[in-house]
Amino acid sequence: MTEDRNALPYTDTKPVGAADFYTAINATFRFIFNRFGRDGLLRYWHELGTRYYAPVSQQWSKGGLQSVAEYWRAFFDAEPNAEAEVSLHANEVCVVVTTCPAIRHLRAQAREIMPTFCQQCYFVSDAMAEPAGMTVRVKGGNGSCVQRFIKRSDCSAAQNIEDIATAS
Amino acid sequence: MIGCYDFCGHYEWTFGWLEQLGGHELVRDYWVEAISEDSQRHASDLIVNHGIEGMRKYWQHTLEEEAADHVMTSTDEVYRIDMHQCPSKGFLIKNGLEQYHDYCDHCMGWIGPLMKKAGFVVDHEHNHCGQCWWEMRRVDDVTPPSAPGGLSGEKDVRLTFKWKTKRTDHYDRSTSSDDKTPLT
């Protein structure tokens, strides 16, 4: 994949992130789930997507599927040990994740992974995509998955949560 | 997917989200339960079991991974960090992110409880601009914090031109993020 940090709304001086932070992301999900249940965690993911990632939604609104593809290429270039292919098609962007960097690191550190960890990829991305008139469908998970970013108008079926694997 | 490249951004955003939901107490509980006891349990294992040697091992790895401009100084009695350019706070400043009123509190929020568990206390100051210093001593050691230059010599962050800012927060033999005294 080619690297284009301009596609990311927030940039750092180092080329890739520190993998140890995946343990904090996992622990944050667990804390919110334990305190506020599934509804609380879904609310967190949704508000993270709509508020923190609002600049991404704006990019996608302006640039359409091309900017969605550019964002995910830059995103996975900046995640340590990620293996992902992003392809742009006429009506969708397909992200094929063969090695999820987060699951890989959490397993390497022998961490207890939140079973719903992979659902973030639907709920956060859907919240990011909605203002741009898009949505996402996720299939797989627990280390590898396929994420399809499509126009909401082209999508009649809702995301089947059971299509997203339980993480372990 | 939420990534680790911009982790400090959504981590800081989460402090503000939690504070709106449950106030200061919820943020403090998050630092203790999620970060100190869960995420950073590898740090806890090292420091509780190996004291100052564990601190050396933990921070040598993590500060190198985060590309932090820092100096570590240690003896058998004290472990000191001079942070000249915090990569975490630096990321927030660079990207203009400020959802929570004092991001720097999170370090004492998770390190303090860990040090209490390990039998240490912390002297610490941060200037909200990416510079801070830390000294950890065993709880029964009443030695006061070093004077500027006393432990880390010319590498002491307090001797640099960046150190003086409008507001510095001070912690004296602390193990809690609630112990701070603002110095203006």
Lowest mean pLDDT among A46-50, B66-70, B173-177: B66-70
Helix/strand/coil percentages in chain A, nearest 5: 55, 20, 30
CB contact under 8 A, A30 and B34: yes
Give the mean pLDDT of B121-130.
97
Backbone angles phi, psi at B183, to 5 degrees: -115, 125
Residue A139 DSSP code:
E
**Is pLDDT above 80 for A138?**
yes
Whether A44 contacts chain B with CB within 8 A? yes
- pLDDT on residue A76: 98
Q: Is residue A83 a contact partner of residue A99, using CB atoms and an 8 Å limit?
A: yes
pLDDT band at A5 (very low <50, low <70, confident <90, very high): low
pLDDT in tens, B144-172: 999 999 999 999 999 999 999 988 999 99
pLDDT in tens, A52-105: 999 999 999 999 999 999 999 999 999 999 999 999 999 999 999 999 999 999
- Interface size between A and B, measured as CB pairs under 8 A: 108
Give the mean pLDDT of B102-106.
96
CB contact under 8 A, B30 and A19: no
Q: List B132's β-bridge partners, or say none.
A: B83, B126
Of B11, B22, B94, Cβ closest to residue A24: B11
Q: Which residue of A has its CA nearest to B20?
A: A44
**CA–CA dist B10, A128 (Å, integer):** 14
CB contact under 8 A, A18 and B65: yes
- pLDDT on residue A1: 44
From the CA of B116, how many Å to the nearest CA of chain A? 21
Assembly ipTM: 0.95
pLDDT band at B19 (very low <50, low <70, confident <90, very high): very high
pLDDT band at B65 (very low <50, low <70, confident <90, very high): confident
CB contact under 8 A, B14 and A80: no
From the CA of B69, how many Å to the nearest CA of chain A? 12
**CA–CA dist A128, A48 (Å, integer):** 9
Whether B33 contacts chain A with CB within 8 A? yes
Whether A161 contacts chain B with CB within 8 A? no
On chain A, the residues whose CB falls within 8 A of the CB of B11 are 21, 24, 28
**Is pLDDT above 80 for B121?**
yes
Question: Which 3-state string (H, E, C) describes chain B?
Answer: CCCCCCHHHHHHHHHHHHHHHHHHHHHHHHHHHHHHHHHCHHHHHHHHHHHHHHHHHHHHHHHHHCCCEEEEEECCCEEEEEEEECHHHHHHHHHCCCCCCCCCHHHHHHHHHHHHHHCEEEEEEECCCCCEEEEEEECCCCCCCCCCCCCCHHHCHHHCCCCCCCCEEEEEEECCHHHCEEEC
Torsion of CA A157, A160, A165, B2, to 10 degrees: 70
Nearest to B26 by CA among B14, B40, B38: B14
- Mean pLDDT over each residue of chain B, to the nearest integer: 96
- pLDDT on residue A6: 78
Residue with tokens 């009506």: A91
- pLDDT on residue A156: 82
**Is pLDDT above 70 for A3?**
no
Torsion of CA A139, A143, A149, A154, to 10 degrees: 0
pLDDT in tens, A19-43: 999 999 999 999 999 999 999 999 9
Model confidence, pTM: 0.95
Whether B72 contacts chain A with CB within 8 A? no
Residue A71, helix vs strand vs coil: helix
- Indicate the domain borders of chain A: 18-156
Backbone angles phi, psi at B168, to 5 degrees: -120, 135
Task: Tell me the CA distances in angstroms from A136 to A46, A154, A161, B83, one per residue in order.
Answer: 13, 11, 12, 42
pLDDT in tens, B26-55: 999 999 999 999 999 999 999 999 999 999
The radius of gyration computed from the CA coordinates of chain B, to the nearest angstrom, equals 16
CB interface of A with B, residues 90-149, below 8 Å: 100-102, 109, 120-121, 124-125
User: Domain A18-156: which CATH class?
Assistant: alpha beta
Nearest to A54 by CA among B15, B10, B93: B10
**CA–CA dist A54, A131 (Å, integer):** 9
CB contact under 8 A, B90 and A23: no
Give the mean pLDDT of A137-162.
95
**Is pLDDT above 70 for A2?**
no
